[in-house]
Amino acid sequence: MRLFEHEAKALFRRAGLETPRGLLAETPAEAVLAAAELGPRVAVKGQVRSGGRAKAGAVRLAEGPAEVEAAARAVLDARVAGQPVGGLLIEEAVPVESERYLGIVYDDRSGGPAAVASLAGGIEVESGAAAAARVPLSALDPAQDFRLKEAVATLGLSGRELVDLTGVLGRLWRLFTERDLLLAEINPLARTDDGRWIALDARVEIDDDALYRQARTVAELGIDPATRSDREASDLELEAARIDRSDHRGVAGRVVQFEGSLALLIGGGGASLTAFDAVRAHGGSPANYCEIGGNPSVRKVAALTSLLLGQPGIDRIAVIMNVVNNTRADLIARGVIRGCLDAGLEPSSAIAVFRVPGAWEDECVALLRHYGVSACDRGVSIDEAAGLAVAAASG
């Protein structure tokens, strides 16, 4: 879940990182009032959860009420990576002596977190023109000071700046681990004329899988996770997310809606993507992508099944998972059957295919047989199960 800049900076301040003074505004008139409290020169910054704001004209400097109002109107009219600007952050303009980039990221090469530092902040980081360092970190050991110092020292920095930037990275690292982040980035980190280091911009992403542990963080920021997507969530997606949050057991409710006719309950160690692609490869038209697993409760599976089958034009569902060991196949079957009945459909006609081999499989098969549904065992591949589902849905 990516945060807006003002939310990320709120976390930064809690972590002991300095940010410019700022106020939120929704209209040009509010922007003028905010600027009057912050000083003669301000930055008018559009709030979107995407990079490239400056290039898109969504960040502007202004001085005086007329300029602030004009800048606010222009920023609110801008679009960044196809996203509309939802609000404004008005910040005091900070006199900058130099800029750096610091971040804690997840690194594809090392398969874990890494500290990243660069001699230049701003858009130069994106071009790769400035010298940069990347040092892998261990998520198992909270004491990483020597590696953080290595990332800064690799840039050739020493003395007071080495100490200061290592301290900033240390605060980012603690924030990263304590708040279950995927990204904690300052770009740029500015040194002021009086020697202070201030985060002029902030990017933070919280791991969706850890949101249940970050209820306090979400509450502090006033965020509804169900509304946070790179696009506006549909009513179906919002309700599915509510179902998932209603019970801590397992995953059943992460849904992306499509304009198809075959509902999908899919999952199992990456198998959800495999099953989704296989349905399309066989000429099927998925009504949704979703993930289930981790032994969700019967109630959650039933609610999600009923929700998916309750959509207009959808009366068939395919249940396809990899071989499961941490999920009881019989509980998935109970939930799907209950969901079909709640949607007013007979399981024998609504279930296009059911492939959940693994734990408690015999009980699962017996239950499905009672309702006239044939279960596929592990001898039927995910691809073959997808083909059977498409054929059943087309028949």
Q: What is the mean pLDDT of residues 102-111?
A: 84
Alpha-carbon distance of 329 to 334, in angstroms, equals 9
Strands 88-92, 22-25: pairing is antiparallel
Contact 250, 327 (CB under 8 A): yes
Q: What is the mean pLDDT of residues 22-35?
A: 96
Going by the DSSP 8-state scheme, the letter that residue 351 receives in this structure is E
Residue-wise pLDDT tens digits, 174-225: 999 999 999 999 999 999 988 899 999 999 999 888 888 998 998 889 887 7
Provide the β-strand partners of residue 321.
Answer: 267
Reported as type and span, the H/E element at residue 206 is strand 202-206
Contact 364, 301 (CB under 8 A): no
Look at residue 121 and tell me whether its pLDDT is greater than 80. no
Alpha-carbon distance of 106 to 265, in angstroms, equals 29
Q: Does domain 233-394 have CATH number 3.40.50.261?
A: yes
Alpha-carbon distance of 113 to 173, in angstroms, equals 9
Provide the β-strand partners of residue 17.
Answer: none
| Positive or negative torsion for Cα 231, 237, 242, 244 | negative
Domain ranges in the chain? 21-92, 96-221, 233-394
CA-CA-CA-CA torsion for 257, 212, 182, 88, nearest 10 degrees? 70
Residue-wise pLDDT tens digits, 293-337: 999 999 999 999 999 999 999 999 999 999 988 899 999 999 999
Contact 284, 259 (CB under 8 A): no
Residue-wise pLDDT tens digits, 141-170: 777 889 999 999 999 999 999 999 999 999
Going by the DSSP 8-state scheme, the letter that residue 283 receives in this structure is T
Residues with Cβ within 8 Å of residue 200, at least 6 apart in sequence? 19, 20, 94, 96, 99, 121, 186, 188, 189, 190
- Position 131 scores a pLDDT of 64
Q: What is the mean pLDDT of residues 263-280?
A: 89
Pick the CATH number of 21-92 from 3.90.650.10, 1.10.10.60, 3.30.1490.20, 2.40.50.140: 3.30.1490.20
pTM score? 0.63
pLDDT band for position 111 (50/70/90)? confident
Q: What is the mean pLDDT of residues 357-384?
A: 96
**Domain 96-221: which CATH class?**
alpha beta
| Positive or negative torsion for Cα 90, 92, 95, 99 | negative
Compute the chain's Rg from CA coordinates: 25
